Amino acid sequence: MEPSPDFVSRVIAGGSEGVVDRSRRDFLRAAAALLVGLNLPKSSLAGGGQHGAGGSGQRAVIVIFGGVRHSETFSPEGLENIPHLSRDLLPQSLFYPNARNEGVTAHFNAISSILTGNWQRVDDWGKIAPTTPTLFEHFRKRLGAAQSDTWVVASNKALTSLIGASSASNYGPVYGANVVFPKQLMVAAVANALRAGRSRNMADRAKIESELENMLEAGNYEGLGWTVFDAADRLDPRVRGIIEEAITTFVRDGGPTSGDELTFLVSREVMRKFSPRLLVVIFSDVEVAHFGSYALHVGGIRTGDRLAYQLWQEIEANAEYKGKTTMVVLPEFGRDPDGSTTNGFFNHRGDTDSTRSTWMMALGAAVSKPQIVERPIRHVDLCATLADLLGCPPMESQGSRLTEIRV
């Protein structure tokens, strides 16, 4: 007998009795039941399909969280932390419950592996560029896409602008993405105010706004580590405008004020102003786990859940994106299991399923039918898949194309 939709929605919401005792397999089976027979409305399919010059006309937004475990997200007990992903987005998504990071489970290597389709083993602190071409370079070189078409907006402090382009010969920064670290703006503003004896300003919203904007001045900007339109020494005036807009919203709206919030606001402004065809947004509030606050880690998951949903809403509301965009959400890796010698959720160094096995969700134009694909996939599979989606010729990649994601 097919479970009733009401039953399934209770499972997704984690609200029915007995759900907490279900195994992960039962959980997935129940979630899969929701998707059986569902086909998406035409308007959300690839109908946009503007195969214009320089590619397929498709767009891709990749949303990467830091390290989150299944147990705090897609598990019966974790669902309460991801209400938007599990209730609003899962029913219309292609969901891979076992997306594995088989490389180095440190931030720079994990993200650059996703973005190159090859397991990277470079310096953990972003001092060395990925050694094989990124999707940005491939996209720009092969299709002649402009730099304004490729952006990375990231919170993670372990990244540098080298995440935007590789050291591969015949590629490199000339084909790289714009890279912006909004959180670094905040960190630098705090440090600057402290150095200048203006720490009182940090308690005054109006003064915070001016401290943040001061960081965009030529002399300060250089220290932010951004690369925007090839200019490392000054900020392009078009970009300055969108950052100022994001700062104003961040400071004056009275909403939450974490690094990921500012990253979201800048990403949204980038979408509105430049409509990049390939946008990567990297959230990292969850990484407060390194300091041992489980509550703040879970809070970071909830923030990421909400912001990923808001990005999806922006895609749906923005004419440049609606109907021709595929959004992919995935964590960089999991975290270490409770009781491990590496101190459990604090870290992500273990060679365990808890650390290596994550999930991936795809939504939008390239998802013709929602489904749960239980086959394990690898993080390096995403790059080849998106290259194909964007209309690029195949990339040299250790990954395999995910055949379910297609237009």
Q: Which residues bind another protein (CB under 8 A)?
A: 104, 106, 109, 119, 121-127, 157-158, 160, 183, 186-187, 190-191, 194, 199-200, 202-203, 208, 251, 257-259, 288, 290-296, 298-299, 338-339, 341, 343-347, 349, 351
Question: Closest approach of Cβ 250 to another protein, in Å?
Answer: 9
For residue 67, the minimal CB distance to another protein (Å) is 15
Cross-strand pairs, 329? 63, 361
Shortest separation between residue 184's beta carbon and another protein, angstroms: 9
Angle (nearest 5°) at CA 23 between 19 and 24: 100
For the chain, report the end-to-end CA distance as a whole number of angstroms: 33
Q: Least separation, in Å, of the C-beta of 335 and another protein? A: 12
| For another protein, the closer CB: 149 or 336 | 336
* In the complex, least distance from residue 223 CB atom to another protein, rounded to whole angstroms: 11
CA 261 from centre of chain: 13
**Looking at beta carbons only, is 86 or 156 nearer to another protein?**
156
Closer residue to another protein in complex, CB, 7/346: 346
Task: Closer to another protein by CB, 149 or 332: give it.
Answer: 332
Question: What is the closest distance, in whole angstroms, from the C-beta atom of residue 219 to another protein in the complex?
Answer: 19
Residue that the structure tokens 């092969």 belong to: 142
Whichever of 72 and 149 has its CB closer to another protein, that residue is 72
SS3 of the chain: the string is CCCCHHHHHHHHHCCCCCHHHCCHHHHHHHHHHHHCCCCCCHHHCHHHCCCCCCCCCCEEEEEEEEECCHHHCCCCCCHHHCHHHHHHHHHHCEEEEEEECCCCCCHHHHHHHHHHCCCCCCCCCCCCCCCCCCHHHHHHHHHCCCHHHEEEEECCCCCCHHHHCCCCCCCCHHHCCEEECHHHHHHHHHHHHHHCCCHHHHHCHHHHHHHHHHCCCHHHHHHHCCEECCECCCCCHHHHHHHHHHHHHHHHCCCCCCHHHHHHHHHHHHHHHHCCCEEEEECCHHHHHHHCCHHHHHHHHHHHHHHHHHHHHHHHHCCCCCCCEEEEEEEEECCCCCCCCCCHHHCCCCCCHHHHEEEEEEEECCCCCCEECCCCEECCHHHHHHHHHCCCCCCCCCCCCCCCCCC
How many other β-carbons are positioned within 10 Å of the β-carbon of residue 144? 11
Q: Which is nearer to another protein, 77 or 320 (CB)?
A: 77
Nearer residue to another protein within complex by CB, 88 or 123: 123
Nearer to another protein (CB atom), residue 54 or residue 67:
67
Instruction: Give the residue with the Cβ less far from another protein, 232 or 296.
Output: 296
Q: How far is the CB of 134 from another protein (least distance, A)?
A: 18
Closer residue to another protein, CB minimum distance, 37 or 339: 339
The Cα–Cα gap between 263 and 265 comes to 6
Nearest distance, CB of residue 105 and another protein, angstroms: 9
What is the nearest approach in angstroms of another protein to the Cβ of residue 163?
13
- What is the radius of gyration, based on Cα positions, of the chain? 21
d(CA 233, CA 272): 25
In the complex, least distance from residue 379 CB atom to another protein, rounded to whole angstroms: 15
